[in-house]
Amino acid sequence: MNDASSSLNFALILFALLVVCFAAWLADRLVFRRARARLAEERVARFDADQAVLPAHQRAADPAAARLAISREALRQPLWLEYTAGLFPVIAVVFFLRSFLVEPFKIPSGSMIPTLLVGDLILVNKFSYGVRLPVIHTKVLEVGSPQRGDVMVFRFPRDPSMDYIKRVVGVPGDQVSYQNKRLSVNGVEVPLKPAGEFYDADRLSYAPQYSETLGSVEHRILTELDKPSFISATDAFPFRDSCRYGNNGLSCTVPAGHYFVMGDNRENSLDSRFWGFVPEANLVGKAFFIWMNFGDLKRIGGFH
């Protein structure tokens, strides 16, 4: 597994829920609330009429409080409206925040170890790479674009219903080379230095850890420099002819409007080396914060 999580179905469900709740809220404002107001007036008038013909000792001890209780009962939303129209403001706020500002994701795989671990719950800035309409993903406002070193969430090109998370290695026009486990961008080898070992609690083993700098971002990766470097594309992908594969790795020219991404866990990441480039239209946002990991609360915080 290399995905951040699947969110398309949830987005559609949330949008459908928003439409239903808005329709109920609008109907309540225009029709049902007025009907309840008329009903409240009729019941209060009936109460006053009944009180007028009753003997004094049978009348309500506090007529004003009785009128208020009758009115409130008549004005109260029925259960179906309470759970549709009543929830509309909450659903609208959640939909706006999730669609345009910040969206939560869960990391289910180890492709971004050591930066992100399985079980990390992260936040993704939805407007870092432009404001997009929810569900249809059409960009309506240009804000920014991915930079080398960004940890980016995107819709997987082969299955847009899945959201993937990887690190941006190459931007449009870049020459990306991954030969003998060493990464070069535009002919310059990316700085790499030993950073001790990473202990994988799931596998109960240690793995070589290195510090890598992409652009202005210094981060850690896992890779085994002594292992074979042969890489094979899983099958054809758009702009496949922009890549050259060999016994020692590959070299690619990133097409316009596309990005080359890789996982920080280099030997355990299915990424652009195998399935190709990420189109600009598939971008979701920039991951920037771990807000919870129930297995390790020390994980909470920002990351690079």
Are 89 and 205 found together in one domain?
no
Predicted TM-score (pTM) of the model is 0.85
Are 140 and 178 found together in one domain?
yes
- pLDDT, position 2: 44
Active site residue 177: no
H-helix or E-strand containing 64? helix 63-75
Q: What is the pLDDT along the chain (304 residues), one digit of tens a residue?
A: 345 444 557 888 899 999 999 999 999 999 999 999 999 999 999 999 999 999 888 888 899 999 999 999 999 999 999 999 999 999 999 999 999 999 999 999 999 999 999 999 999 999 999 999 988 889 999 999 999 999 999 999 999 989 999 999 999 999 999 999 999 999 999 989 999 999 887 777 888 999 999 989 999 999 988 887 788 877 789 999 999 999 899 999 999 999 999 999 999 999 999 999 999 999 999 999 999 999 899 999 999 8
Confirm if 302 and 217 have CB atoms less than 8 A apart: no
Identified catalytic residue from 7, 71, 166, 269: 166
Alpha carbon distance 106, 184 (integer Å) = 30
Structural domains of the chain, count: 2
Are 81 and 139 found together in one domain?
no
Alpha carbon distance 205, 268 (integer Å) = 15
Supply the range of the domain harboring residue 36: 7-94
Are 77 and 133 found together in one domain?
no
- pLDDT, position 1: 36
Are 150 and 282 found together in one domain?
yes
- The per-residue b/e assignment along 131-156, b for 16 or more CB within 10 angstroms, e otherwise, is ebebeeeeeeeeeeebbbbbbbbbbb
Are 201 and 295 found together in one domain?
yes
Are 114 and 219 found together in one domain?
yes
Are 240 and 276 found together in one domain?
yes
In a domain, 297, yes or no: yes
Identified catalytic residue from 7, 109, 111, 242: 111
- pLDDT, position 127: 93
Are 54 and 199 found together in one domain?
no
Alpha carbon distance 181, 177 (integer Å) = 10
Domain boundary among 72, 94, 116: 94
Are 163 and 289 found together in one domain?
yes
CATH number of the domain that 286 lies in?
Answer: 2.10.109.10
Domain boundary among 67, 94, 121: 94
Domain boundary among 94, 123, 146: 94
In a domain, 21, yes or no: yes
Are 111 and 249 found together in one domain?
yes
- pLDDT, position 8: 58
Active site residue 111: yes
In a domain, 175, yes or no: yes
Are 228 and 138 found together in one domain?
yes
Which tokens belong to 12? 């559609």
